[in-house]
Amino acid sequence: MDCKVYSKDGRELRTIELDESVFGLPDNEDIIWYAINNELANKRQGTACTKDRGEVHGSNSKPYKQKGTGRARRGDKKSPVLVGGGVVFGPKPRDYSYSMPKKAKRLAMKTILSLKARNETLKIIEDFSIESGKTRDLAGLLKNFNPGTRTVLVLKDDDRMIKQAAANIPWLSYLSYNRLRAHDLFYGRQVLMLETAAKNLNSFYGSGSEKEAGQ
């Protein structure tokens, strides 16, 4: 499939050929949901911790005798039914992370890229760099591409200066082409991709890449 390539000032320059096996897949909501939930689960800290009645500090003695008072039977002050007592079935530290099959993760990324290309929210931009590393210079460049919209910038490599310039733009996130995140891609209102990154994705996620990667 052909996709337009834009200059830094928003003008159409040429077209680029995108691999149908990467940017032309049908919708698959299940695999997208699976990938996003996997990422969110892996980010959870799992540090929540509560004390049960055996861990709460307090006396083990009964507040009053068992019989003869006319009142209900009462255990110690650490009972879960009392204020300051233990918590029943409360959270304990745990690991929420789990692994996702590599083929499924790759399929999820390709499905999201295909969705963005089909909805015309994916734009290919000629390669650029921000030599100064200043936010002002990058923001000035992005003003030609719907500034203020939740945007994902896909880089061709780990460009330190672009990342430094993008750090202070609240509506912009950046990803390297070989380390995509399903959550950021899916919820981005527009995806701006450098031309070399698009070419790299053709080979990185292309039809022959899985066999080469040992998958």
* Amino acid letter, 179: R
State how far the Cα of 102 lies from the Cα of 151, in Å rounded to an integer. 26
Q: How confident is the model at residue 209 (pLDDT cuts 50, 70, 90)?
A: low
Which range among 27-36, 99-108, 177-186, 198-207 shows the weakest confidence by mean pLDDT? 198-207
State how far the Cα of 203 lies from the Cα of 208, in Å rounded to an integer. 8
Catalogue all structural domains in the chain, each as residue range(s) with its CATH number.
2-44+101-212 (3.40.1370.10), 50-90 (no CATH)
Tens digit of pLDDT for each residue in 75-120? Answer: 888 999 988 899 999 999 999 999 999 999 999 999 999 999 999 8
Closest CA to 43 of 96, 116, 114: 96
State how far the Cα of 108 lies from the Cα of 110, in Å rounded to an integer. 6
Which secondary-structure segment (H or E) carries 194?
Answer: strand 190-194
